[in-house]
Amino acid sequence: MAELSMEAFTDTVINAMGPNTSPRVREVMTALIRHMHDFAREVKLTTPEYLAACDFVVRIGQISDEKRNEGILASDVFGLESLVDFLDQAASSAEVTPSATSEPTSSAILGPFWREHSPILENGASIVQGGPQGESVLVQGRVLSIDGKPVKDAMVAVWEDAPNGLYEQQDPNQPEYNLRGQFRTDAEGRYAFRGWRPVPYPIPFDGPAGDLLQMMDRHPNRPGHFHFRVRAPGHQELVTQVFDRESKYVDSDSVFAVKESLIIDFKPAPEGTDTQYVVDYDIHLQPSKT
């Protein structure tokens, strides 16, 4: 058999897909195969390098469990989760209605530390259950539709790392669901919670994601941030993060999630209040797609 040309070889692999493949799978796989093959040709990938890449994928699986998602972490280091977030947001802001009085709040990546079923707490309650102490902050604001109307019964889920730079599931010394909570907005769309002023921290770098960072001579740090996931009747879900303007690494987030509109200010609280800082933060949601 004559050797196939490089290009013809790629077509042979693509054309091996059968007629029962769905159109989307065909579209995605065609592009994936083409880009993978072009990539290997461009860098003249060697067999040892190819085997190292397979081993990298194996190690992502081996180090992952219900508390550690190395797949998300490694893709974050490549900027892939943030790129997908940009694409998603560009697609959904193309449909912003003319009656809108404000921009929808920008999204940001979910990351590897989200957990479903965090405690449902009263507005104004603290998400601190124990663990290391930090600087206290009260975060408060309203959830509004982009036409300016308050959104009642939105569930605002928040999560953050502890003042030692570890999320609850990374740290055996923190109570289960520490620094996580969900808050239901009232008739004016208000939510409020107390927590610690988030601190910068390194993403876990003792596994394959860390090896990647090291190979590329990059640091593992993220600026201090709160995560939000907001789900409300009649509105599109919002997953985002807000970043402390004064935090180190705001300009060099290791996972490329910072957007200018998501940078917030921690204001010193008035004398005599029971918190050191206050953050006022309104969230603007887009109506559901019809």
User: What is the smallest separation between the CB atom of 123 and ligand MBD, expressed in angstroms?
Assistant: 24
Characterize 87-97 residue by residue with b for buried, 16 or more Cβ atoms within 10 angstroms of its Cβ, and e for exposed.
eebeeeeeeee
**Residue 287 contacts ligand MBD per CB under 6 A:** no
* Interacting positions 188-207 with ligand MBD (CB under 6 A): 203
Element (H, E) at 156: strand 155-159
Is residue 237 a contact partner of residue 110, using CB atoms and an 8 Å limit? no
Distance of alpha carbon 267 from the chain centroid: 25
Q: Is 76 one of the binding residues for ligand MBD (CB under 6 A)?
A: yes
Type of residue numbered 104: P
Cross-strand pairs, 143: 283
d(CA 70, CA 223): 20
| Interaction partner, residue 257 (Fe ion, ligand MBD, none; CB < 5-8 Å by kind) | ligand MBD
Residue 259 binds ligand MBD (CB under 6 A): no
At 221 the three-state DSSP class reads strand
DSSP-assigned beta bridge partners for residue 39: none
- The verdict on 163 binding ligand MBD (CB under 6 A) reads no
Q: Taking contact as CB under 6 A, which single stretch among the options 16-24, 110-118, 126-134, 138-146 is the one that binds ligand MBD?
A: 110-118
Residue 224 makes contact with ligand MBD by CB under 6 A: no
Q: Which does 203 bind (CB under 5 to 8 A by kind): Fe ion, ligand MBD, none?
A: ligand MBD
* Contact pattern for ligand MBD over residues 228 through 257, marking x by CB under 6 A: ---------------------------x-x
Residues near ligand MBD (CB under 6 A), total: 10
Q: From CA 119, how far away is CA 113, in angstroms rounded?
A: 16
**Of 111 and 200, which has the nearer Cβ to Fe ion?**
111
| Distance of alpha carbon 281 from alpha carbon 156, whole angstroms | 12
Q: Considering beta carbons, is residue 199 or 255 the nearer one to ligand MBD? A: 255
Query: Is residue 48 within a helix (H) or strand (E), and if so which, with residue range?
Result: helix 47-63
Examine residue 85 and tell whether it contacts ligand MBD (CB under 6 A): no
Is there a contact between 116 and 164 (Cβ–Cβ < 8 Å)?
A: no
Please name the amino acid found at residue 127: I
- One residue of 10, 85, 113, 249 binding ligand MBD per CB under 6 A: 113
Nearer to Fe ion, 111 or 208 (CB): 111
Residue 76 CB, shortest distance to ligand MBD, in Å, is: 5
DSSP state of 178: T
Tell me which residues touch ligand MBD (CB under 6 A). Answer: 73, 76, 109, 111-113, 203, 222, 255, 257
